[in-house]
Amino acid sequence: MAKSSDDLEFARRAILAESEAVARVAELLDDAFLEAVAIIVEAADADGSVVVSGMGKSGLIGQKISATLASLGIPSQWVHPSEAAHGDLGRIRRGDCLLALSYSGETDELVGLAGILKQDAVPIISITKGAGGSSLERLSTVALGIGIVEEACPLSLAPTSSTTATLALGDALALTASRRRAFSADDFARRHPGGLLGDLLRPITEIIRFKAGESLPVLQETLTVADALKQAAEVGRRPGALVLIDANGILSGVFTDGDLRRLILRDTSELAKPISTVMTRSPRTLPATAIVRDAVNLIREARQDEIPVVDDQGRPVGLLDVQDLIALKVVRD
């Protein structure tokens, strides 16, 4: 049985072999890459789709690349090259383009698919080893190569470095095409409504429980502390901070439960003071256009449990409580 130290050294060599293959792909990028990006962008702008295809491990890599394209706003579908000849060609329309993956460039099923689509004037982007002269390269509108790579698997029994390099090149195509189409964070959010990622991209106004005019008392800073507390109690359950405004309705400060405890411990007669003299002025705020990720970052940075949410004029629209984020499971208690 091999020693543990031997296993670790073997694993390190495998990872280095794959990382070297990816680094080599970066060095090989040239104008052909930009031509491929242009084909993808043209298809997406014309409401076409990037059809990705490959056999075996290349097919699995192709499915991931297709998913990346779709998540970045570029319509994409994966088609099995064998199934294409048995009806799935109907998925492919004029205006689409084909991204064909085959390290050798000689995969029969994929070459056959590319040959059919070439007759239909569908642009073809291939990713092969790029040694030149393969059947798939000759059929391609743009041929991209990852170079001759050393597989991490001994005796090249399974594709490893080559598939990793292909994935990196496919992701680079997707990211560059998305960048060229000015894909925004808002676009991304619309395509990722589920899971933790979706929650982080939700508008902050969707998750706050305490909203001005509903469950959040918005009080004049001229009130005494005692009167402010009385008015806040009239709305029933209140947040852990009072939101104060000036005569123009602009947020001027907050008065937290912690501020109240310290005031009482110091001198109960201070309850008769104007709340403006004891509140926290100019607190950190979030704009109403913020997303949950912005709130998480501010909570972590400021260690502030309550954050006012304001409109573009500085008027309060709500109060974010850290418990809103804990309930969403985007921060821990």
pLDDT digit string, tens, across residues 39-82? 999 999 999 999 999 999 999 999 999 999 998 889 999 999 99
199 within domain boundaries: no
Are residues 166 and 241 part of one domain? no
Q: What percent of the chain has pLDDT over 70?
A: 91
Roughly what angle, to the nearest 10 degrees, separates helices 161-180 and 4-28?
A: 40
Strand partners, 276: none
For residue 68, the enclosing domain spans 4-183
Are residues 117 and 58 part of one domain? yes
Are residues 149 and 34 part of one domain? yes
Rg, the chain, Cα only: 29
Are residues 162 and 13 part of one domain? yes
Please check the confidence at residue 194 and state whether its pLDDT lies above 60: no
Instruction: Note the pLDDT tens digit of each residue in 73-110.
Output: 899 999 999 988 777 888 888 899 999 999 999 999 99
Phi, psi of 46 (to 5 degrees): -95, 15
Q: Which amino acid is at 255?
A: F
Are residues 91 and 57 part of one domain? yes
193 within domain boundaries: no
Are residues 170 and 39 part of one domain? yes
Are residues 168 and 25 part of one domain? yes
Are 125 and 144 in contact, with CB atoms under 8 Å apart? yes
Roughly what angle, to the nearest 10 degrees, separates helices 161-180 and 56-71?
A: 20
CATH number at residue 21: 3.40.50.10490
pTM value surpassing 0.85: no
Are 258 and 238 in contact, with CB atoms under 8 Å apart? no
Are residues 176 and 260 part of one domain? no
pLDDT at residue number 3: 67
253 within domain boundaries: yes
Phi, psi of 312 (to 5 degrees): -70, -10
Name the band, by pLDDT with cuts 50, 70 and 90, for residue 290: confident
**Coil, strand, or helix at residue 274?**
strand
122 within domain boundaries: yes
194 within domain boundaries: no
Are residues 99 and 24 part of one domain? yes
Provide the 10 A C-beta neighbour count for residue 194. Answer: 7
pLDDT at residue number 235: 73
Are residues 110 and 28 part of one domain? yes
Long-range CB pairs of 253-258 (<8 Å, 24+ gap) are: 253/221, 253/279, 253/280, 253/281, 253/282, 253/283, 254/279, 254/280, 254/283, 254/306, 254/308, 255/225, 255/228, 255/279, 255/280, 256/280, 256/305, 256/306
CATH number at residue 278: 3.10.580.10
Give residues with Cβ within 8 angstroms of 191, minimum separation 6.
70, 71, 73
pLDDT at residue number 331: 59
Geometric angle at alpha carbon 161, from 156 and 166, rounded to 5°: 125
Structure tokens at 278: 């004891």
pLDDT at residue number 328: 67
**Of residues 212, 278, 290, the one with CA closest to residue 251:** 212
Separation CA 327–CA 333 (nearest Å): 9
How distant, in Å, are the alpha carbons of 114, 154, 296 from that of 35?
Answer: 18, 35, 40
Are 295 and 200 in contact, with CB atoms under 8 Å apart? no
Phi, psi of 305 (to 5 degrees): -80, -25
Name the band, by pLDDT with cuts 50, 70 and 90, for residue 255: very high
Please check the confidence at residue 141 and state whether its pLDDT lies above 80: yes
304 within domain boundaries: yes
Burial of 26 (0-12, 13-18, 19+ CB in 10 A): exposed
332 within domain boundaries: no
Please check the confidence at residue 300 and state whether its pLDDT lies above 70: yes
Separation CA 291–CA 189 (nearest Å): 10
Geometric angle at alpha carbon 53, from 23 and 60, rounded to 5°: 65
**Of residues 230, 195, 215, 201, the one with CA closest to residue 290:** 201
Over residues 167-171, the mean pLDDT reads 97
Are residues 90 and 34 part of one domain? yes
Q: How many domains does the chain have?
A: 2
How distant, in Å, are the alpha carbons of 37, 40, 111, 293 from that of 52?
Answer: 14, 11, 13, 33
Residue with tokens 């395509």: 191
pLDDT at residue number 161: 93
Name the band, by pLDDT with cuts 50, 70 and 90, for residue 226: very high
How distant, in Å, are the alpha carbons of 306, 310, 321 from that of 208?
Answer: 11, 12, 7
Are residues 229 and 124 part of one domain? no
